[in-house]
Amino acid sequence: MSQTYQPVVGLEVHAVLETRSKMFCDCPLVDSTHAEPNVAVCPVCSGMPGMLPVINQAAVDYALRVALALNCQVHPTSIFARKSYFYPDLPKGFQISQYEQPLATQGWLEFDTLEGTQRVTIRRVHIEEDTGKLTHKHADGQRYSLVDLNRSGVPLLEIVTEPELHSVEAVRSCAYALRSVLRYVGVNSGNLEKGLLRIEPNISVRPAGSTDFGTRVEIKNLNSFRSLERATTYELQRQAALVQQGGQVVQQTLGWDDDRGVTVAQRSKEFAEDYRYFPEPDLPPLVLDPAWIEQVRAALPELPHARHNRFIERYDLTPYDAGVLTAERQVADFYEAVLEAAKQADAKLAAHWVSGPLFNLLNEAGVELHALQFGPAELAGLLDLVAGGSINAAGARQVLGELFAHGGPPAEIVERLGLQQISDPQQLQTWVAAVLQQNLQQVTEYLGGNAPLFNWLFGQALKLSGGKADPAKLRAELQRQIAATETSGEELP
Ligand code: ADP
Ligand code: MG
Ligand code: ZN
């Protein structure tokens, strides 16, 4: 994007509150990608006249967790309202949402960028219900649409930030941080592809240095973080080029065409729709007991950003490693459980083995941490063997592979696979002596100045040990014996 325009972006996020039942009825939440259409539907969520909604307390609990995790001011009383409009996926003709008196306002979220930690203001957090889903078909020369109400009435949390994001990196990082919070507090799995989390950037540009706001567009239908980034980048460039040429941005809702890599017009937003909001007469105001709010606050886990900072300070990890280890709560929990169980292995060693070899195995097998055949205690046991010098890194990798496949006590696996690292001085001496004797020519050349031959000789000795010699001690022994021949000036034994 050109230097002369500053990006201005605010996020509107819809997160499904993944409770058991819907927002105002007992129907279960079903997986939209597997369930048959219209299997989770009742008179309430299909909009039959005269049916009464009942507030799902679990959904309020979930919403409250997020509002508190986002440092919001939670309002003791909030009001559900009817947002009226016609659309075939909305059988009641209105959506129940919170409007004038939302659950919570004025919070903030911290996230990291290359320039350091940034903070975005959370304007509001409110509860609403989802709509049904339409599938448009075109067959036998006819166009028609199918209506699936499984999603109708599913609890949604809307989270709106102020337009305070000024780079694509900030947009991405803020969106990730928000997703991470939702996952940490256990209300949403963060799945964009399935539409469980929908992130819609509102985007405008303004001349650098200006504090006015330019006309914004809103982008919908982004089903991955990659799309969020690409669409934001594209749109910022499009707007900057347009304004530069003297054109004007039209306020509208855009879709993202992932194949072509362009934003496409969906509907013009030049005329604000009149939703005729009014308080939902079938629901009482949502009144929260202050004691309950405090209970939910007290039960919040340590949140990702705080945990990230604590990992850096307490375990002396790099920001990168701390980021990898705290992105998911279960990973961070696992890591800290390893540290808890370890007797000799330190935080850095554990960080390396969790974020490196263990993650590689998980990724290759497509397995989640909770499905592992072993627990943190086993990994700690293995790392203690490494830290204590009982096995070397290559051996430990083998043991980890074995743990991953079958589980079991690490010490037993080491024994069974014969991976015990050998550091007995007598034994090392014998191996080194044998190698020197068998390679007199190379030793002479090394002493004559061919330095790289040292590593070659070391490799021979390690090979002779079957890879089991303690590498540091073996190296020292090799150095010692070569130095001895040199100073004695004698022929090799
Ligand atoms: P509406 O209520 O019509 O959806 P809002 O003013 O509440 O509009 O803003 C919706 C979202 O758009 C918020 O995330 C906000 O930060 C963002 N936004 C508002 N104005 C701008 C702007 N000029 N540029 C970019 N984003 C904006
Ligand atoms: Mg809005
Ligand atoms: Zn229902």
pLDDT tens digits, one per residue of 195-230: 999 999 999 999 999 999 999 999 999 999 999 999
Instruction: Name the domain boundary from 266, 295, 324.
Output: 295
Ligand 1 centre from 202 Cα, in Å? 6
Q: Are residues 52 and 83 in the same domain?
A: yes
The pLDDT of 77-87, averaged and rounded, is: 96
More confident residue, 410 or 2: 410
Ligand in nearest proximity to the CA of 269: 1
**Whose CA is closest to atom 24 on ligand 1?**
204
Q: Compare 127 and 270 and report the one with higher pLDDT.
A: 127
User: Has residue 143 been placed in a domain?
Assistant: yes
Q: For residue 230, how far is its CA from the centre of ligand 3 (angstroms)? A: 37
In this predicted model, which residue has the larger pLDDT, 189 or 139? 189
Give the pLDDT score at 267: 66
- Residue 121 clears pLDDT 80, i.e. is over it: yes
Give the per-residue pLDDT at 486: 75
Token pair in block for residue 246: 């003297």
Contact present, 144 and 137 (Cβ < 8 Å):
yes
The answer to whether residues 284 and 353 belong to one domain is: no
- Shortest-distance Cα residue to atom 23 of ligand 1: 213
Centre of ligand 3 to C-alpha 355, Å, is 43
Give the pLDDT score at 490: 53
Q: C-alpha distances in angstroms, 114 versus 319, 325, 428?
A: 11, 18, 49
Task: Work out the percent of the chain whose per-residue pLDDT is above 90.
Answer: 86
Q: What is the position in ligand 1's atom list of the atom closest to the CA of 164?
A: 16
Residue 7 within a domain: no
pLDDT band at 107 (very low <50, low <70, confident <90, very high): very high
Cα–Cα dist 348/263, whole Å = 45
Same domain, 437 and 334: no
- Mean pLDDT across the stretch 421-431? 90
In this structure, the answer to whether residues 139 and 284 fall within a common structural domain is yes
Query: pLDDT per residue over 124-162, tens digit each?
Result: 999 999 999 999 999 889 999 999 999 999 999 999 999
> Which of 417, 441, 464 is the C-terminal boundary of a domain?
417
* 59 Cα to the center of ligand 3, angstroms: 15
Q: Could you identify the residue written with the tokens 């043991």?
A: 399
**Residue 240 Cα to ligand 1 middle (Å):** 18
Q: What is the pLDDT of residues 453-491, one digit of tens each?
A: 999 999 999 999 888 888 889 999 999 999 888 776 555
Nearest-ligand number for the alpha carbon of 271: 1
pLDDT the model gives residue 488: 65
Strands 217-220 and 77-78: unpaired
Domains of the chain: total: 3
Query: In the structure, which protein residues have their CB atom closer than 6 angstroms to any atom of ligand 1?
Result: 8-12, 160-163, 202-204, 213-214, 216
**Residue 196 and residue 65 in one domain:** yes
State the pTM of this model.
Answer: 0.86
| Closest residue CA from atom 3 of ligand 1 | 272
Task: Tell me, yes or no, whether 392 and 465 share the same domain.
Answer: no
Q: Is residue 318 part of a domain?
A: yes
Confidence of residue 493 (pLDDT cuts 50, 70, 90): very low
Q: Which atom of ligand 1 is nearest to the CA of 12?
A: 14
Name the average pLDDT for the chain: 93
**142 shares a domain with 77:** yes
161 CA distance to ligand 1 middle (Å) = 8
- pLDDT beyond 70 at 426: yes
Q: Are 375 and 449 contained in the same domain? A: no
Pocket test for ligand 1, best of 202, 216, 271 (most atoms within 8 A of CB): 202
- The boundaries of the domain holding residue 442 are 425-488
